[in-house]
Amino acid sequence: MAQNKKMVEAITGRDEDFAKWYTDIVKKAELVDYSNVKGCMVIRPYGYAIWENIQKDLDRRFKETGHENVYMPMFIPESLLQKEKDHVEGFAPECAWVTIGGSEKLTERLAVRPTSETLFCEHYAKIINTYRDLPKLYNQWCSVVRWEKTTRPFLRTSEFLWQEGHTMHETEEEAREETLRMLQVYTDFYKETLAIPAVVGEKTEKERFAGAQATYTIEPMMHNGVALQGGTSHYFGDGFARAFDITYQGRDNKLHYPHQTSWGVSTRMIGALIMVHSDDDGLVLPPKIAPVQVAIVPIAQHKEGVLDKASALYESLKKTFRTKLDDSDQSPGWKFAQYEMQGVPIRLELGPKDIEKNQCVLVRRDTREKLFVSLDGIEDAITELLETIHNDMYNRALENMHEKTHVATTYDEFIDLSKNNPGFIKAMWCGDSACEDKLKDATGGVKSRCIPFEEEHLADTCVCCGKPAKHMVYWGKQY
């Protein structure tokens, strides 16, 4: 148990230093390592296994809604990027440029893709000719590069993994339906798979994606009350289509511009998993994306029959669950600490006395609760417990979000809450971006998160300027 205690002490307390606690977990749980390339990370096997489970679940959801996977080049000619003015201005500060190929200077700079709207549009201009070619429902899994000044593993890195959906539609109505449909896919995924609640709504004009007519967002709250933009879905109208001369012959035999959407989530979600669910002993992973759902730890494994029974149990359980049998020569205490650090949802302990009683001990990672369960019907018991763990994790996160969501009806209340009560602030807004800037400057970084779909009427006037209010907005600091 001394080894166990030593491993736990290696993590800084969450309430002591949240940023250091986060960094300790990503390192100690062996999720990432730092790279010699500034701002880039090495995603280690355990961290990548989490991403693979996320990817598998989301990919299924995308395909169930009719989307196909494609792959675009990673380089974008500067002239191509320049075709959509607002878009290139939005990404120019973050672009990484290739100017030399081999030993020769390139005649035109190539941007390493920060996002792929322009590449998709170039392709769509070649393959969309009539209304029969629509809709185009494409998705890409890839990495992108955005030259960040301040980086942190998973949350903000110069290169990161993501998916980006890019679709084309006959009408504005169809495209807007697609934008909201994919936002709902993300919302369902966060709740059903990641056990993370979130505020969902539309970004203000100031916070829209470059080139978009409307940007919708899912905004989960981290344990410390700071927001994380968890995913976005954008409606572009026909702006890109006009810039790239994408036209189709409509049902009326006239030429029309198609309407476009894009939507994406990234490895930032792994950062959200850590900061929403984990504790001072390491990761706490929701069962549906945990690389190992059940870790079998034999107790007194040197005694006759223990390993044989544990192996038989492993062979049975692995057909249904992602299961690991740890028959290494490490002490049980070391193993307990290791699987707590890695956030394995259930630890199954099996020793000689358990075998005599035809039972095992199931230990929940999220609550440390121990359950003595008969080996008869063990699969049903584990299935039920995994579902309970997921629901309990979601409800704890939801309770935290509710506790850290506050209401401000005056400017002074807003400033006081921003300084003394970390979390979301619900407040009315006049619609003027100047008020957004003023509140951000006065609070050291509190920004509009979104206008929720279901707005509450908290007051008649803007919390900042006192003019008539147009919307209720969620405000907060962000990662």
Residue 422 lies in a domain: yes
CATH number assigned to the domain comprising residue 332: 3.40.50.800
Distance CA 454, CA 255 (A): 38
pTM attached to this predicted model: 0.95
Q: Are residues 37 and 141 in the same domain?
A: yes
**Does 53 reside within a domain?**
yes
Question: 182 with 42, same domain?
Answer: yes
**Cα-to-chain-centroid distance, residue 29:** 18
Say whether both 144 and 204 belong to one domain: yes
Distance of alpha carbon 67 from alpha carbon 263, whole angstroms: 12
Specify if 41 maps to a domain.
yes
> Has residue 95 been placed in a domain?
no
336 and 253 in a common domain: no
Location of structure tokens 């692995």 = 318
Q: Report yes or no on 282 lying in a domain.
A: no
Out of 277, 309, 344, a domain closes at 277
Strand partners for 143: 161
**Which residue, among 299, 337, 339, 307, has the nearest Cα to 322 in the 3D structure?**
339
Last residue of a domain, one of 217, 251, 277: 277
pLDDT tens track of the chain, all 479 residues? 444 445 555 799 999 999 999 999 999 999 999 999 989 999 999 999 999 999 999 999 999 999 999 999 999 999 998 887 776 677 778 899 999 999 999 999 999 999 999 999 999 999 999 999 999 999 999 999 998 888 899 999 999 999 999 999 999 999 999 999 999 999 999 999 999 999 999 999 999 998 899 999 999 999 999 999 999 999 999 999 999 999 999 999 999 999 999 999 999 999 999 999 999 999 999 999 999 999 999 999 999 999 999 999 999 999 999 999 999 999 999 999 999 999 999 999 999 999 999 999 999 999 999 999 999 999 999 999 999 999 999 999 999 999 999 999 999 999 999 999 999 999 999 999 999 999 999 999 999 999 999 999 999 999 999 999 999 999 999 99
User: Which CATH number characterizes residue 432's domain?
Assistant: 3.30.110.30
* Cβ(326)–Cβ(311) below 8 Å: no
Instruction: Give the ranges where 278-377 is alpha helix by DSSP (H).
Output: 306-317, 332-341, 352-356
Domain's final residue, options 213, 245, 277: 277
Specify if 137 maps to a domain: yes
Q: How many domains in the chain?
A: 3
Has residue 100 been placed in a domain?
A: no
Domain identity same for 417 and 351 = no
- What integer pLDDT is reported at residue 1 of this predicted model? 40
Residue 211, pLDDT score: 87
If asked whether residues 33 and 168 sit together in one domain, one would say yes
Same domain, 444 and 371: no
Say how far apart CA 238 and CA 259 lie, in whole Å: 5
User: Quick one: DSSP state of residue 69?
Assistant: E
| 454 and 306 together in one domain | no
Question: Is 370 among the domain residues?
Answer: yes
Residue reference for tokens 């009719």: 66
pLDDT of residue 9: 57
Please report, for the domain that includes residue 190, its CATH number: 3.30.930.10
Q: Are residues 19 and 149 in the same domain?
A: yes
The residue segments making up the domain with residue 347 are: 294-383
- In terms of domains, do 347 and 426 share one? no
Q: 164 with 62, same domain?
A: yes
> Do residues 306 and 276 make contact, with C-beta atoms less than 8 angstroms apart?
no
